[in-house]
Amino acid sequence: MSPKTLYDKIWDAHVAHEADDGTCLLYIDRHLVHEVTSPQAFEGLRMTGRTVRAPDKTIAVPDHNVPTTLDRANAATMTEDSRIQVEALDKNAKDFGIHYYPVSDVRQGIVHIVGPEQGWTLPGMTVVCGDSHTATHGAFGALAHGIGTSEVEHVLATQTLIQKKSKNMKVEITGKLRPGVTAKDITLSVIGVTGTAGGTGYVIEYCGEAIRDLSMEGRMTVCNMAIEGGARAGLIAPDEKTYEYCMGRPHAPKGAQWEAALQWWKTLYSDDDAHWDKVITLKGEDIAPVVTWGTSPEDVLPITAKVPAASDFEGGKVGAAQRSLDYMGLTAGTPLTDVEIDTVFIGSCTNGRIEDLRAAAEVLKGKKKKDGIRAMVVPGSGLVRAQAEQEGLAQIFLDAGFEWRLAGCSMCLAMNPDQLAPGERCAATSNRNFEGRQGRGGRTHLMSPAMAAAAAITGKLTDVRELM
């Protein structure tokens, strides 16, 4: 048998039909659904008299629109259009009989945090969702990617997707990370190298000692941003950490089925002599704590660097960099650590898990945010929130002057009331620094939870290593 990558193996196990031209019907094991990209798909089913083919493999949770303030049970906290979307999901979940975690359920949260937490996401699965950050689930060695609403409808109706196979890219992070360097710094640094289109047409497998050393939470952070590098999906081969994370979760297999699953999961790795279409290697020790300075996730620099000039770039990037500098209100040559911020946002599907909150709390413990800084922590799920309260993290955030919110996507995409004002500058643990992403005219600097916590204390972009 010819050697295969992990992607090849998962792909081969899910081809339900292959046409002569290589177009495949890929069977989907888990379909995650949220309120923003699904209403038109369910409407499409109703209009054509179709049903959901596999409701037991379809899981819905509202996350993008929901307020994260403590009074959200009061319907008045939502705008009418947001409420209509959430109510549409309530109704669609009920009408079509799919698994559902409503806003009132403690298990509600960001769909990419809820899936793994509830054991829906397991190694070797195909997972899709009408959301680009579905790549997150690749941390389990699941082939997971975002789809559009027409494809959501297609999966609802047929439990398959029409796909052509992507190419294989290996991203290896060798050796150990230095203190203060996290999974977020890895994933941003990789995008800094590849650019936001470097992964287009590929599925990335992340490997190497620094990846193996990461917890499952860290691995999810890495895979989450595979899409920001343009890749269809990011993957990490499952190992003991993966099995340990999955074991005992509500929807993970039990008993003999667990043993059977484990036996298969242990075959899910790239063969030694598998073919890679592209290979990128970074040394773990070369990765520094990083921040973004511009309006593309590829605009990454070590925190010790200075704001670049447009003339430092080539081709179309010259104009793009100038536009970014203007939008961000930055002057070339300014040390990044001189950039003052207004707001700190800790949360999102990239960094809203328990380990992220622990890392931020570690920096904030016994300290206070700088006066005048708006700071909020938005846990990724109700269960993350409960655990953080149990571990005393919530109290650390409150003592430091942070708002302690309920779960949701919140200021990552600012579809709910959590938004930046024009010109407001934010240290954010989310995944996109696009123009207007966190609110019209808002300025976003992406970084790790520890770095965001450090910025809250000093009021500036800060090298967290100086506070350690």
Residues 195-214 contacting other proteins, CB under 8 A = 196-197, 200-201
Binding residue for other proteins, selected from 73, 84, 247, 398, defined by CB under 8 A: 84
- Cα(174)–Cα(208) distance, rounded to whole angstroms? 5
Using CB under 8 A, pick the residue from 85, 136, 348, 350 that binds other proteins. Answer: 85
Which residues within the stretch 407-446 sit at the binding site for other proteins (CB under 8 A)? Answer: 413-415, 422, 432, 434-437, 440
Of 62, 124, 308, 380, the one binding other proteins (CB under 8 A) is 124
What residues contact residue 214 under an 8 Å CB cut-off, 6+ apart?
183, 186, 222
Angle subtended at Cα 39 by Cα 35 and Cα 45, rounded to the nearest 5 degrees = 140
Q: Give the DSSP letter string of 120-180.
A: ---TT-EEEESSGGGGGGGGGT-EEEE--HHHHHHHHHHSEEEE-PPEEEEEEEES-PPTT
Nearest residue (CB) to other proteins, 253 versus 459: 253
Number of residues in the chain: 468
How many angstroms separate the CA atoms of 453 and 181, rounded?
14
Shortest Cβ distance from residue 436 to other proteins (Å)? 5
Residue 135 vs 377, nearer CB to other proteins: 135
CB within 8 A of 190, min separation 6: which ones? 171, 173, 229, 280, 282
Q: Give the separation between CA 247 and CA 216, rounded to whole angstroms.
A: 13
Q: Applying CB under 8 A, does 43 fall inside the site for other proteins?
A: yes
Q: Is 398 in the site for other proteins (CB under 8 A)?
A: no
Strands 343-346 and 374-377: parallel
| 131 lies in the site for other proteins, by CB under 8 A | yes
- Residue number, 122 or 211, with CB nearest to other proteins: 122
Q: Does 132 bind other proteins (CB under 8 A)?
A: yes
Scored b (16 or more CB within 10 A) or e, 233-260 reads: bbbbbbbebbbebbeeeeebbeeeeeee
User: At closest approach, how far in Å is the CB of 305 from other proteins?
Assistant: 21
CB of 52 to other proteins, least distance (A): 12
Query: Site for other proteins (CB under 8 A): which residue of 69, 77, 158, 174?
Result: 158
User: Which member of 143, 147, 282, 349 binds other proteins (CB under 8 A)?
Assistant: 147
Nearer Cβ to other proteins (284/347): 347
The stretch near other proteins (CB under 8 A) out of 80-88, 179-187, 329-337, 390-398 is 80-88
Say how far residue 374 (Cα) sits from the centre of its chain.
Answer: 23
Residue 46 found at the interface with other proteins (CB under 8 A): no
Residue 59 interacts with other proteins (CB under 8 A): yes or no? no
For strands 24-27 and 160-163, give the pairing. antiparallel
Interface with other proteins includes 82 (CB under 8 A)? yes
Q: Which two tokens stand for residue 117?
A: 């937490």
Q: Least distance (Å) from other proteins to the CB of residue 45? A: 9
Under rule CB under 8 A, which residues in 159-188 are in contact with other proteins? 159-160, 162, 164
Question: Between 233 and 262, how does the x/- string for binding to other proteins read (CB under 8 A)?
Answer: -------------------xx---xx-xx-
Output 120 or 397, the one with its CB closest to other proteins: 120
Site residues for other proteins, 271-330, by CB under 8 A, read: 296, 316-317, 319-320, 323
Strand 202-207 to 58-60 pairing: unpaired
At position 355, the amino acid (one-letter code) is: E
Q: Are 247 and 255 in contact (CB under 8 A)?
A: no
Among 46, 50, 275, 283, binds other proteins (CB under 8 A): 50
What is the residue type of 182?
Answer: T
Q: Is 263 in the site for other proteins (CB under 8 A)?
A: no
DSSP letter string, 408-445 = S-GGGTT-SS--PPTT-EEEE-SS---TTTTSTT-EEE
Cβ nearer to other proteins, comparing 220 with 400: 220
Size of the site for other proteins (CB under 8 A): 77
Q: Is 379 in the site for other proteins (CB under 8 A)?
A: no
Q: Is 27 in the site for other proteins (CB under 8 A)?
A: yes
Q: Name every residue whose Cβ is closer than 8 Å to that of residue 15 and which is 6 or more positions away in sequence.
A: 24, 25, 26, 27
How far apart are the C-alpha atoms of 402 and 160, rounded to whole Å? Answer: 44
Please report whether residue 230 would count as binding other proteins according to CB under 8 A: yes
- Contacting range for other proteins; rule: CB under 8 A; set: 48-56, 94-102, 186-194, 460-468: 48-56
> Residue for token digits 């379909």?
31
67 binds other proteins (CB under 8 A): no
> For other proteins, which is the closer residue by CB, 89 or 357?
89
**Stretch of 127-135, 179-187, 205-213, 283-291 lying at the interface with other proteins (CB under 8 A):** 127-135
